[in-house]
Every structure is written in structure tokens, then in C-alpha cells.
Structure 1
Amino acid sequence: MKRKVLIIYTGGTIGMEKDYETNSLRAFDFNHIFNKIPEMNLLECEVSVHQFSEPLDSSDVGPEEWKEIAQLIEENYHLFDGFLILHGTDTMAYTASALSFMLKNLRKPVILTGSQLPIGDLRTDAKENLLTSLYYASLYQNDEAVVQEVALYFEYKLLRGNRCLKYSAENFDAFISPNYPILGESGVHLKVEETMLYRTPHQEDFSVDLHLNDSILLWRIFPGINLESLPQIPKIKVLILQVFGSGTIFSNKKTEEVLQKIRNNGTEIVVISQCVSGGISIGKYNNSNIFKKIGAISGHDITAESALAKAMHLIDNPNYSGDFAENFKKNLRGEISEIEE
């Protein structure tokens, strides 16, 4: 039985080709992808293509585009066995994170991929990324999808979408998952780490929750920062503070006063680490206890991309019982590790 996969082409380098008259890159009609990669005809899956009316640079992909992708998956969920989203690399981890929260009780693969070089380049990474992503998007065992989550495939590795980040603008191996093992690896054999795969604990049917709220700000703390400017920003629902190491910040009365003033204004404060690997451990050092005093929320080992997407999804979302802090602390889609503080 041939599995059916829908490719959703949003834009990005993977869909570019060189215009030799101008020597610049331009998007090509992705419906002609079989002409670019004839090897696709050898795959044991049926491929259909939906492309955005105007291919977008990934820097132009945000909440409205996330909703468009989620709606496309919702409309086609029962028509296809898997979904492959082709996307520019710069914001791919944000999109993957957002979709992981918007797609509830997902039981089919949703894979994102892209490339560092255009598909027509001699040394392109686009062909391998695309072909192997299609394998993962159509991989079934005993009539059940092997991957049942939003994942990102790049340079021979399958990663959890809400656990990864782009760390290189030049290497083919551009994405890492610093706090969670890889889900699979492509070599001579296509490997899957089955114990690492996410499975929804709920029995409910698949559904899409398009709720996103942009009343949010990410602020990176640095030595010498003037914290007095923080309360002067327009009132927001959630402030994500990216602090030092495992959760430290300047130890003085003024810092506590400023952060408490923000909390008193009704803003939730989420604390995440500036470190790529590891996470927040409030109480490990004395300079982290301030966050316990003001009632800040620990982001544990969540990535900045995932923290932003999760917060946007949870702010004033009527589809969740409990308050924002209670829900943010939960491991909703495998985005955080179970860490005891």
C-alpha cells in the first residue's frame, strides 16, 4: 500500500534556482519538483504538492503563516498519511515549535525540512533532505505511523521540532537538539529511536487549536543592563527572561523591585537559560532565588523558540483549564524534560 504524503511548500532556499541571466536566486514552480528530482518517482509513496501563493523567505513566516499551515493539515488530515513542510531554515525551529502546540493529538508525521543550498546547486543538500524527509513522512508499521509528532529533518538527523534550534548559518549540519536525543538517523539504513518518539497520552481525536497571542516579549539579560527600562515597555501578558546559566541574575534590591513591579502589573515572567545546553534550576545558586520570591515560572530546559511558541499558544487560551503558569509548567508535547527542582 502506497502512503500518501502532502508536501506544503512555504518558500526558502530549497525551492530556489539560479537565474543565470541575473546570477540571483529565484523561486521555481514546486509543482515541477519531479523534474528537478526524478528520484522521487522511485519512492514508495504518492506525493501531492501545495505551495503558498507567494513563496516566503522564512523571516516573513510568523503566526499567520503558522495558522495557514495548521489549517492545511487540518483540511487534509484524513486524505494523507503524512505531511512534509518545506521551509526556510532561519525560522524553521519557531514554526516547528508552534505547530507542535497547535496540532493536538497528532497521530501522523509532520516533518519540516529545508536546505542550505538551492536544489539546483551541484553540492546541494536539498535532495537528500527532501528524499529522506519523505521516507520519514510515509513510514508506517502495522498500519500505524512510526512518527506521530512534529519533527525536523536535516543533514541525516531527525529531531523533535520543539526541541531543536538552528545553530549554524553555514554548515549543512545546521540544527541541533541540545537537551533531547535525536529521533532518528539516516545512513545505510534508516534508523528510528522508537523509545524517544512522542506519543499523545490522550484518547481524543486529532484537532487544531489556532489560538496565538502576541502579547509577549523575549528579553536577554546582560551585564550592565539598565533594568529600569523594563517596566517602561508597553504592558504585555508574558515576559520571557533569558538569564545566565542555570537561572542567575544580579543580586541586588533594585533587581527584585523592578521584577516585582512587572509582576504586580499582571505580567507573567518565564525564566529560560542563555546556555544552549542545560536549563534552569531555581535555588541551585542564591542569585536564582529572586525568581522564587517574585513567582516567576521556570522554563526548565526549553529552547527560546519553543518557549515563545508555547507562551503565545497559552496566553488567554480558552481551550485550557487552569491558569497560564500551571499550563506552562506542564510538558505538553515533549518540549521539556521532567526536572525536579
Structure 2
Amino acid sequence: MKRQILILYTGGTIGMKSSAQGYAPDDGFEALLDTRLRLQQSPDSIHQLPDYHVVKFSQLIDSSNLMPADWTQIGQTLNDNWNNYDGFIVLHGTDTMAYTASALSFILQGMNKPVIITGSQIPLSELRNDALDNLVTSLILAGNYDIPEICIYFNGRLLRGNRSKKIKSAELDAFDSPNFPWLGQVGIHIDIQKKLLLKPGQPDFNLPHCNPNRVVITPIYPGISARVIDALLDSDEVRALILQSYGVGNPPDKNTAFIASLERAGNNGVVLLNTTQCLQGSVNQGAYATGATLNRIGVTPAADLTLEAAFTKLHFLIGMGDDAATIRKNITRPLCGECSHTD
């Protein structure tokens, strides 16, 4: 019996068409999708696809306008349909796809079915596009393979969602997972690295309320002022600050006012998390004396969490009601393969 797949169309380039103002959502996307699938597949090959049903959000999300509440909406839709389908595809804009993939991995812990997130750099409505291949392959993956985790599929690469990053703005191979191997590669053959997949679990889904003001981010740059930290933390709503520091986690420790602002924030209960600006590698806070300063004032090193995973995991833990001490303890303890073990 064919698997039943739900395609959740949330927005993004894949469903857009050209307009005088640039690409805009196409109201006829579902009909276009069905037509393209049937026109470009032979009568024999179309039967190799699983059965699918498309659900479209009434308010499509422009990827650059994504809000934390949208993760909960997507998670709720998947949760509501979990027992009715064998797998799921989420069509999403590319700019914030890695954020949504990371967030869903925390929301849908214990999942036992595939959830493949995909999109495109060129809309399906264009004659030359990457949309159809990304979608057809995602259907094949969700319909024929046991992949019990949130993945991004894009341009031949199957990636763990919470390890993924958009690394290119104008190329078709837009996504990679710099600190974790690909879960699969699709070329002439489909090669799934089964040993890397998470084990299927018992669904234990949580849909936390995510206040967009809870988590803030700042890169460290030459000459950064303490005023930057003070301005970011001028609201009592802020519960966590992510630093993007140099190399293996090095701050400007000679900037005493900047360090004092961080220390004051930590003493006031703000979770301070230190990530690296580098695409690859892990935070090793204390490998240099500058980084040891952060150890002294209570900043938590983020190990090899991506910025997207760190940001969404903080939102998830805060939304679940964890206090600062618990968050500091659990932020680098893997929940669903988002980081390497640090214990």
C-alpha cells in the first residue's frame, strides 16, 4: 500500500510567480504542482510517487518575515495530522528554513515518521527551476524511506535539520551541514546513511509559546561597545543573549566595560551563550586566555550548535518554562542530534 504524505505549503519561493514587484505568492500553486507532476512524469513513473494531499496556510509566510510563533503554527499543524499520514513535507522559504527545521526538531521530539523540509531557489512557475526536483525527491524520500527526524532536502543533499545552514544566496546547492555529515545523497542512486539517523521514538510533542523578545543575538566585532549589550538587554522580557565570538570562542577581554556588561547581565539571570562566527568548528572557551574570561563570568560555551539551533533551542527551553540554571545545564545536552555530546 502506498504511503500517504501530507504536503504543508507554508510559503516561500517555490510557490511564487513573477510580478511587476518581483516574485509574489501564486494563488494557483496547488493546481500548478499537480499539473507539473503529471506533465513531467511518465504514466509509469507517476505511480511510483506516494499519494499526497496539499494543505496551504491561509496566510503564507514570507521567509524573511518569519516569527517564532510560526514554528508553533507549523508544529501544531503537523501534530494535528500526525496520525493521519505516513510522512510529511513542509514547503518553506529558504532564508529561514534552517531556523524552522531546528525549531521543529525540538517541538516534535520522539518522532517516528519523516518530516522533509524543502523549497527552491527558483519558483516552480518558471520554466527552468529547481523546485520540481526538490519536491519529487522529497516525496520519494518521505514515501519510501524510514527517516524519523526533521530533515532539509535540497539539491541532492539530505541534511539533519538542526545541523543545517543556508550557505549560498544564489546557487542551487544553497544548504549544507558544516559540522555533521549528510544523512543522504541523491544522485543516480539514493544513498541514505542509516547509521547516522536518529532512532524512531514515541512522539512527545510540545508546542511552547515563543515570545520573540526572549532571545537576542549580537556578533562581536572590533570596537564593540558595552552600549550594544546594554541596549539589547534594556527589556525585562529578554531571557537569553547569544554572542557570536571569534574563532573558538574568543571575546575582546581588554574591553573591560563590555565584559562588565556581560557579567552584570549574567548576574541578573540572563543566559549568556557563546557561539562562533566560524562556519565550521566548535567553541572551546578557554583555549585562549581571552575565552577564559567568559568562563570566569559564567558564559556558557555553545559547543558545535549552529546559530539557528542555538537560537531555536533557547526559545524552546524558555517557552517550556525552564529557569536560567536549567537552561545553562541543558543547552548543550543533545535532545535530538543538534550538537555533539559535551559530557
Amino acid at match of 2:210: L
User: Is 1:287 the counterpart of 2:285 in the alignment?
Assistant: no
Deviations 1:3-47 (A, max 9, x none): 01000001111112345x988644132331211221383333110
Are the counterparts in 1 of residues 16 and 123 from structure 2 also a CA contact under 8 Å? Answer: yes
CA distance in 2, matches of 1:161, 1:199: 15
Instruction: List structure 1 runs of 4+ shifted beyond 6 angstroms.
Output: 319-322
Deviations 1:292-319 (A, max 9, x none): 1111111111111111100000015248
In structure 2, the residue matched to 1:117 is 122
User: Is 1:278 the counterpart of 2:281 in the alignment?
Assistant: yes
Q: Label 1:12 to 1:285 Cα distance change in 2 as closer, same or farther (>3 A).
A: same
User: Is 1:329 the counterpart of 2:332 in the alignment?
Assistant: yes
Q: CA deviation at 1:231?
A: 2.5
CA distance in 2, matches of 1:302, 1:229: 24
For structure 2, the residue ranges without an aligned partner over 5 or more in a row are none
Identity level (%): 37
Are the counterparts in 2 of residues 139 and 147 from structure 1 also a CA contact under 8 Å? Answer: no
CA distance in 2, matches of 1:90, 1:327: 28
Number of residue-to-residue matches in the alignment: 332
Are the counterparts in 2 of residues 7 and 86 from structure 1 also a CA contact under 8 Å? Answer: yes
Q: Label 1:270 to 1:28 Cα distance change in 2 as closer, same or farther (>3 A).
A: same
CA distance in 1, matches of 2:253, 2:86: 53
In structure 1, the residue matched to 2:85 is 80
Q: Label 1:213 to 1:333 Cα distance change in 2 as closer, same or farther (>3 A).
A: farther
Q: CA deviation at 1:197?
A: 1.0
In structure 1, the residue matched to 2:265 is 262
Equivalent of residue 136 in structure 1, options 134, 141, 163? 141
CA distance in 1, matches of 2:11, 2:228: 38
CA distance in 2, matches of 1:22, 1:170: 19
In structure 1, the residue matched to 2:54 is 49
Amino acid at match of 2:169: A
In structure 1, the residue matched to 2:147 is 147
TM-score by length of 2: 0.91
In structure 2, the residue matched to 1:93 is 98
Are the counterparts in 2 of residues 212 and 314 from structure 1 also a CA contact under 8 Å? Answer: no
CA distance in 2, matches of 1:182, 1:52: 30
CA distance in 2, matches of 1:322, 1:238: 12
Q: CA deviation at 1:58?
A: 0.9
- DSSP-derived class of the 1:77 partner: helix
For structure 1, the residue ranges without an aligned partner over 5 or more in a row are 141-145
Q: Label 1:18 to 1:259 Cα distance change in 2 as closer, same or farther (>3 A).
A: closer
Moved more, 38-47 or 56-65: 38-47
Are the counterparts in 1 of residues 112 and 203 from structure 2 also a CA contact under 8 Å? Answer: no
CA distance in 1, matches of 2:247, 2:23: 42
Q: Label 1:274 to 1:319 Cα distance change in 2 as closer, same or farther (>3 A).
A: closer
In structure 2, the residue matched to 1:243 is 245
Deviations 1:251-283 (A, max 9, x none): 224343222111122111000000011120012
Deviations 1:133-175 (A, max 9, x none): 11111124xxxxx210100000000001011111111000001
Q: CA deviation at 1:71?
A: 0.8
Are the counterparts in 1 of residues 114 and 142 from structure 2 also a CA contact under 8 Å? Answer: yes
In structure 2, the residue matched to 1:104 is 109
Moved more, 235-244 or 2-11: 235-244
> What is the root-mean-square deviation in Å for CA atoms of aligned residues?
2.1
CA distance in 2, matches of 1:188, 1:300: 36
Map 1:151-190 → 2, pairs under 5 A = 151-190=151-190
Q: Label 1:299 to 1:319 Cα distance change in 2 as closer, same or farther (>3 A).
A: closer
TM-score by length of 1: 0.91
- DSSP-derived class of the 2:61 partner: coil
Amino acid at match of 1:163: R
CA distance in 2, matches of 1:204, 1:339: 25
Are the counterparts in 1 of residues 121 and 130 from structure 2 also a CA contact under 8 Å? Answer: yes
